[in-house]
Structure 1
Amino acid sequence: MAVDPIPADLLYRACDLKQFTFETTADLEDLPGLVGQERAVEALRFGTSIHRHGYNIFVLGPEGAGKHEAVLGFLANLAVRQKAPSDWAYVNNFRSPNKPIVLEMAAGSARGLKEGMARLIDDFKISVPAILESEEYQNRRQSIEEEYRERQEKAFEELRMNAEAESIALLRTPSGFALAPIHHGDGHEGEVLKPDEFNRLPEAERKRIETTIQALQKELAEILEHIPAWEKEHRDRVTKLNREIAERLIEQSMRDLRQRFDTMPAVRDWLAAVAADLVDNIGIFAGQGDQQQQQVTIALQAMAQGQPLPFGALNPFRRYEVNVIVENNNVPRSVGTSPWKAHMEPDTGGYIGGGAPIVYEDHPTLQNLVGRVEHLPQMGALITDFMLIKGGSLHRANGGYLVLDALKILREPLAWDALKRTLRRRKIVIESPGEFLSLVSTVSLEPEPIPLDLKVVLLGERYLYYMLSNLDPEFSQLFKVAADFEDEIDREAENDLLYARLLAGMCRKEELLPLDRSGVSRVIERASRLAEDAEKITTAMRPIEDLLREADFVARSESKACISAGHVDAAIEAQIARADRMRERSLEMITRDIVMIDTEGAVAGQVNGLSVLSMGAVSFGRPSRITARVRMGMGAARVLDIEREVDLGGPIHSKGVLILSGYLSATFLPEIPFSMSASLVFEQSYGGVDGDSASSAELYALISALAEMPITQALAVTGSVNQLGEVQAIGGVNDKIEGFFDICMRRGLTGDQGVLIPAANVKHLMLRQDVVDAVERGMFAIYPIERIEDGVELLMGCPAGERGPDGKFPQGSVYARAEARLAAFAENQRRFAQRADENGKK
């Protein structure tokens, strides 16, 4: 049965301008949602509404489908209605400085605590020295000092008077106190006896003096024993005075700060610890006081001994600072018509404004996710403290949403495991790569973990989702919601208008000229071509956005007020021209007969197959010569795939070749075992070959070689085939047709040239206008093929033949000639085996 070529009006589906009532997209409102993504939107709505552990979201879809913008826009509309989460800050732990305390505060209040503490310390630096220099304090301090001195002086005065009564002097020396005899009643009153003078005294006098000195030394020892206790009592009285002054000052200074944070238990407890520490260390505010000097001395000694040194050791006031790592804000702010613009700036820490935070982490390393503890060099050592704790994106997104690219986080060492561990624990633990890999045994700081409550949204292509589902058991437990974005939507009047509104929003967001009706129609037609389906529109918005930008450039260069179809066509042609070098070189090699492709004549066992070459973002069709050779085989029928034998054929291509054997075995000599040896090859193919879209062309070449009937070279073939002989749909049909058309066009159209495609691919046709024009003039033809037999008749100019009631194909048909040759192979093989058997017996 003859196959009629496809009419020209089915080769390209134009968009009906009459369905649009607007003049330009400036007349249209922005699309509030997503076109044709109801399933994905419902999944996002469910995933963000359910507050259960593990219900994080994986958004899967093709690259360039606008997942980022769509998800961030959806979250922005949702987050702005939610309550802003808590602020978080790290502060000093006065009991264990290496374990900083984390404080949770109401949204927007952390800065007040930080600034309040800074003002408090600044006030103390002024008020404490002023109080210590005040008359009241100096009088009370002087009174304590005088009492201490009087107590000592009284004790030593009594000892001195007792000694003088016995002619003994109490002397102060650099090494302490000493007792010595003195002259008495000899004109040298009060002078200390020299040793030779003491020796000339009568023995009785000497013994008396020695006994007296021993008794006085006991009294001196008792006095000296009491001095430390007196000093301690003195220090205690001074400390009590300082504490009294400090408590009164601190109570007055911290009253407002305590009242402000009285409803926050963690902050209230920490402020109480601050007050106690200030009382104990009030002396550090007295300028260069002994207490501050003592702390610096201890710090320097620790460094000299190689001990860890907190960063604040040389700055004692640093211990009272507040390290705010997350600060939210309850004041809404306007971000224009595109509320997700702020999300795309990783340096801003995400969108925060009147609701839950949304953070997009563009570089999801371990430390960028969970935070880090930084170190600074000081006096030859690396030192740190709680003020050097830096929060990560998990901290900033806590209470809201964290958006990550799945591929980016999987590429970062340790980051994926850290994210899963954090979600499992439901708390953020800051850990360094060294600790994670057990490369560092000393932990300088152990910050208190922060409770975690957020939704993580991963964005990635489908293969990543399925790979993680199969290879990572924890993935399905932590990401239970899949939001699957559609690759394409139905091309119908309702969706065309929605798409126009989507284009209107793009133009406003990018500040482009509006499109008129013809421009919108042309973009929709281009979207169908990108979808490779005349009944569908692609949802991959990145190439559409690029097209709009370039069409805007063309329109502005012509000083136009809007973008029309001509500008869109010019932008498309410019895109193709910029990336057309390889296609031009391929065409040139064929037209110069370097790569051998015939477009006229007829050859047995040779057919023009069609394939698509993809190089980056550019794809184009390229014809290939496929040849087949057959001969008698030994044993069962075997089709040798030369591409597979040399490891240039992929598994799908090899599968397609094996299917050919199934078709041949079922079609010819059903009751007689036959043997055949055949070889198939893509001539002048030096790269890998995969896919089964050439299997129908390979089958035509085999049948032609078997029947010894030539195939017209004016036709090219694409389509896969099953064992039943049905021709199946393939991809890239538009590129393949245009690739063969370009060769024919350069050599000159004869009117006999054309392409055989699967009938199932007719609905995918969105061909170039020059191809459509050539078909309309009858200079080129495209044939829809449902079965191999239809293609055989077109290619070989003779019916394939259908087996009749007598079990035979019609005389002279292609299949009759092929079966006759196979029968001859079988007979020859039987005779050959018989002779071999007779020779063996002899």
Structure 2
Amino acid sequence: MSIKELSYKELKNYCSDECTQFNTTEDLKPLEGIIGQDRATKAIDFGLNIRKKGYNIFVSGISGTGRSSYIQLITDKKAEEKPASRDWVYVYNFKNPDKPLAIDLDAGNGKKFAKAVENTIVFIKKEMENTFTSKEYERKKGMIVKELNEESESIMQELNELAKEYGFTYTNTDRGLISVPLKEDGTPMKEEDFRNMEKEVYEEIQSKSNELNLASIDLFKKLRDIQDKFREKVKELDTNEANKIVKLHIDKIKKAFKNEKVKKYLKEVQRDIVDNVDMFKSDDNKNNQNPFLAFQKKSSENFFERYQINLFIDNSDKSNAPVVYETNPTYNNLLGNIEYENEMGVLKTNFTKIKPGSLHAANGGYLIMNVRDILENIYTWKGMMRSLQNDEIKIESMQSMMGYPVTSALKPEAIPLDIKVILIGDPRTYSTLYSYDEQFSKLFKIRADFDIEMDRTKDNVMKMQSFIATHCEKENLRHFTREAVCKVVEHSSRIADSQKKLSSRFNQIVEILYEADAWAEQDGSDRVQLKHIEKTIQEKIYRNNMYEEKTLEYFEDEIYLLDVQGEKVGEINGLAVVGAGEYSFGKPSKIT
């Protein structure tokens, strides 16, 4: 193998013919997409298009290679091709209050449904109050009362006739009907008569009272039957009146929202209102007499909470599928939670306190997260993986996940999950999860690996030019001259440590653009020129190469000694690459 001596010009790949002819980046078209990541972009495109279970995406690569920017760009485009996700509401479960029901509606209909139910309950309550205080209702109820009184008077007459046989009469009191002994002149005894009564007489009266109680059992039973009949008739009257009002309003909602779950729920609402018609009647009189008005009012408010609608997910302002970038994926932020409120020292909750997480918000679309953020809490990771495995989102407290006893008995109905999760991380994290989490390989079958370098082809150089032009427009930077752009391309090869490559670590390129623009501003120039790029690179090196200068000073001061002439057996001189943050240099070293 022959060794060729290189000239100083061959130590650097100058950018000359590769750059197209232009004056400034203002003449170039903005870049669409990403540069030099064909392998990753094809994997992402395939992963986003396949709709089978388990084809979620893990984007691996070193920070600064454009992973996050490209994912945001491509998912936004894909989301525009899909319709808006469905709205979700939680409603009261009349059969099992501890298990709120989830109902899905077309995008935008959730808010309309909640408003419709809220207005309907207000209208029903108002009409109920008017109906049950109307003259017509009082007339119908009066007829029932009249019929009751006629039957009751007949039985009361029989009771008094029976009582006279035993020397008693019946009187109505606050405690109901009571028997009172009669004097010899036929008038009821008073309290003074009892006090002056002899013991033998009292015992005789007591004996006759017991005999009367036995003899009047059947008549009292008839009286109770009449009272029960009265209550049933009044209840029937109230039910009929309530049904007329409720059916009219509920049918309007049914026609507006043709959804089987909605119809089933509204049927339960109608039944519950009729069963609790007394809560809808005007209770002004009761309130005025009640010394605990505040407590009664609170109790009434708590009752009507059951008719509220928890607008859980509202997509009324969206025209396409959601894209959610969750930067803080805690357990509650990701999977939702149930909130509490302090009521007189007691923590209470209900179905209106159920709050969504990012999985709910991104349902039907795309959820993007950094894998390191979610791995900070193992229960968050387990919760997400369980949701993906079961294709549903189940809201439960973290305490129950950890096996601790919980105070909440609410168990909201799980919501079906249709989502594409995209995790952004590094190759090492991917390998660790693939090796130690058996579910990971089943649920994240697509890996998109971003490279740190790309071939220095004419096409990629042109894309790099457009990349610079795009950032000038996007970040309001001064436009770059052709010579400045060429210098950035040359520096990109230096970052990649190869004359035939360009760096894909675009964050380092962007830093050059920002700092060069700052130097151009200090120079009073309206364009970023070659000298500004050179100044940027020199200043960047100067800020970070103090350790290199100190090392070289040690050689100059002969603190570090290194033989560069002659020969020695088992010894060779070399360069050790020393990294000091973003800057690295070659330190002369003796190798033995």
Map of 2:72 onto structure 1: 72
TM-superposed CA distance for 1:79, in Å, is 1.0
- Whether contact under 8 Å (2:364, 2:419) holds in the other structure is yes
Map of 1:10 onto structure 2: 10
| SS across alignment from 1:65 | coil
Where does structure 2 lack aligned partners over 5 or more consecutive residues?
none
* Residues in 2 aligned to 1:477 and 1:167: alpha-carbon distance in whole angstroms: 92
| SS across alignment from 2:89 | strand
1:283 aligns with 2:278: yes
Map of 1:268 onto structure 2: 263
Aligned partner of 2:263: which letter? R
- Whether contact under 8 Å (2:34, 2:66) holds in the other structure is no
Map of 1:438 onto structure 2: 403
Map of 2:375 onto structure 1: 410
TM-superposed CA distance for 1:146, in Å, is 4.2
Map of 2:527 onto structure 1: 562
Aligned partner of 1:316: which letter? F
* Residues in 2 aligned to 1:577 and 1:288: alpha-carbon distance in whole angstroms: 83
Q: 1:615 aligns with which of 560, 566, 580?
A: 580
1:235 aligns with 2:235: no
Aligned partner of 2:227: which letter? E
Max radius of gyration: which structure? 1
TM-score (norm 2): 0.89
Map of 1:177 onto structure 2: 178
TM-superposed CA distance for 1:514, in Å, is 2.1
Aligned partner of 2:561: which letter? I
Where does structure 1 lack aligned partners over 5 or more consecutive residues?
301-310, 332-352, 627-697, 702-842
| SS across alignment from 1:445 | coil
* Residues in 1 aligned to 2:396 and 2:210: alpha-carbon distance in whole angstroms: 69
1:323-472 equivalent positions in 2, closer than 5 A: 323-329=310-316, 353-440=318-405, 444-472=409-437
Map of 1:249 onto structure 2: 245
* Residues in 1 aligned to 2:207 and 2:404: alpha-carbon distance in whole angstroms: 73
Aligned partner of 1:271: which letter? L
Q: 2:187 aligns with which of 180, 190, 193?
A: 190
* Residues in 2 aligned to 1:232 and 1:290: alpha-carbon distance in whole angstroms: 25
* Residues in 2 aligned to 1:32 and 1:11: alpha-carbon distance in whole angstroms: 33
1:510-659 equivalent positions in 2, closer than 5 A: 510-594=475-559, 596-598=560-562, 602=566, 604=568, 607-624=572-589, 626=590
* Residues in 1 aligned to 2:492 and 2:141: alpha-carbon distance in whole angstroms: 89
TM-score (norm 1): 0.64
Aligned partner of 2:14: which letter? A
Map of 2:442 onto structure 1: 477
TM-superposed CA distance for 1:158, in Å, is 4.3
Aligned partner of 2:274: which letter? V
- Whether contact under 8 Å (1:360, 1:403) holds in the other structure is yes
* Residues in 2 aligned to 1:615 and 1:73: alpha-carbon distance in whole angstroms: 34
- Whether contact under 8 Å (1:516, 1:564) holds in the other structure is yes
Aligned partner of 1:578: which letter? R
1:317 aligns with 2:309: no
* Residues in 2 aligned to 1:468 and 1:519: alpha-carbon distance in whole angstroms: 44
Write out per-residue CA displacement over residues 481-511 of structure 1, whole angstroms, 9 at most, x where no aligned residue.
Answer: 1222222111122211111112222222222
* Residues in 1 aligned to 2:210 and 2:18: alpha-carbon distance in whole angstroms: 128
* Residues in 2 aligned to 1:522 and 1:431: alpha-carbon distance in whole angstroms: 57
- Whether contact under 8 Å (2:335, 2:395) holds in the other structure is yes
Q: CA separation of 1:607/1:26 partners in 2, compared to 1, >3 Å: closer, same or farther?
A: same
Map of 1:830 onto structure 2: none
* Residues in 1 aligned to 2:173 and 2:271: alpha-carbon distance in whole angstroms: 43
- Whether contact under 8 Å (2:180, 2:188) holds in the other structure is no
Aligned partner of 1:503: which letter? I
| SS across alignment from 2:378 | coil
Superposition RMSD on alpha carbons, in Å? Answer: 3.3
TM-superposed CA distance for 1:7, in Å, is 0.4
Q: CA separation of 1:101/1:291 partners in 2, compared to 1, >3 Å: closer, same or farther?
A: farther
- Whether contact under 8 Å (2:36, 2:454) holds in the other structure is yes
* Residues in 2 aligned to 1:553 and 1:196: alpha-carbon distance in whole angstroms: 111
- Whether contact under 8 Å (2:48, 2:420) holds in the other structure is yes
- Whether contact under 8 Å (2:370, 2:424) holds in the other structure is yes
* Residues in 1 aligned to 2:59 and 2:411: alpha-carbon distance in whole angstroms: 35
| SS across alignment from 2:97 | coil
Q: CA separation of 1:574/1:128 partners in 2, compared to 1, >3 Å: closer, same or farther?
A: farther
Q: CA separation of 1:441/1:315 partners in 2, compared to 1, >3 Å: closer, same or farther?
A: closer
* Residues in 1 aligned to 2:284 and 2:563: alpha-carbon distance in whole angstroms: 100
Write out per-residue CA displacement over residues 91-141 of structure 1, whole angstroms, 9 at most, x where no aligned residue.
Answer: 111111111111111122111111112222233343322222222223323
Q: CA separation of 1:491/1:141 partners in 2, compared to 1, >3 Å: closer, same or farther?
A: same
- Whether contact under 8 Å (1:159, 1:219) holds in the other structure is no
Aligned partner of 1:178: which letter? S
TM-superposed CA distance for 1:284, in Å, is 2.0
* Residues in 1 aligned to 2:466 and 2:355: alpha-carbon distance in whole angstroms: 43
* Residues in 2 aligned to 1:315 and 1:431: alpha-carbon distance in whole angstroms: 23
* Residues in 2 aligned to 1:37 and 1:291: alpha-carbon distance in whole angstroms: 75
Corresponding pairs, count: 581
Structure having greater relative contact order (Cα 8 Å, sep ≥ 6): 2
TM-superposed CA distance for 1:556, in Å, is 2.5
- Whether contact under 8 Å (1:513, 1:562) holds in the other structure is yes
Write out per-residue CA displacement over residues 732-774 of structure 1, whole angstroms, 9 at most, x where no aligned residue.
Answer: xxxxxxxxxxxxxxxxxxxxxxxxxxxxxxxxxxxxxxxxxxx
| SS across alignment from 2:586 | strand
